[in-house]
Amino acid sequence: AVNVHLDSQRRVDAIARNPYKADKPDAIDFTVGNALGQSYLSEDATLDPTHVTARLEKDKLEKHGDAARKLGMKLMPIAFTTFGGMGDVFLKSRWRPFFKELMDKELKEGGLGWKTRKQQQRALEKLSIVLARENGAMIARATSWQQAVATRP
């Protein structure tokens, strides 16, 4: 079950629970950071490829973590960069375990793992497409604004 709220910066983006598992519901908050944004340009960012997503996740945890815990939920920040970087919190707690479970099942059933690898690759391709489209839209918006300002009388 998923409940989604897109109307307020004071709420998480979604609440999801898996009725087949007994774990706590996740309070999900998505964020995408532009790794070339002024606030992310630092020596740390040049030395650590996860610097931007780690900072995005930290910001979300600080913003919503306590409130989620008080409501009996676990906050799941899902952070990406405009270059396709994926945050460790989601990657390690949901993405990898999900595909490991699929792989184990496929291998147990006599498969070689190719079906699961194909599913994982397809998911990454879809994510890349979404990020590329949004990067293009972001550039188009910036370009339109710049053209409008440049052509003012």
Sequential DSSP letters for 38-72: GGG-SHHHHH-TTHHHHHHHHHHHHHHHHHHHHTT
Using an 8 Å Cβ cutoff, are 88 and 50 in contact?
yes
Other beta carbons less than 10 A from residue 30's beta carbon: 15
Task: Please report which confidence band the pLDDT of residue 147 belongs to, taking 50, 70 and 90 as the band edges.
Answer: low
Tell me the pLDDT band of 18, cut-offs 50, 70 and 90.
Answer: confident
The per-residue pLDDT for 151 is 60
The stretch 34-43 carries a mean pLDDT of 84
Residues 44-101: pLDDT tens digits? Answer: 888 888 999 999 999 999 988 888 888 888 899 999 988 888 999 999 988 999 999 9
- For the four alpha carbons of 58, 59, 60 and 61, in that order, the dihedral sign comes to positive
Does the pLDDT at position 146 exceed 70?
no
pLDDT at 1 over 50: no
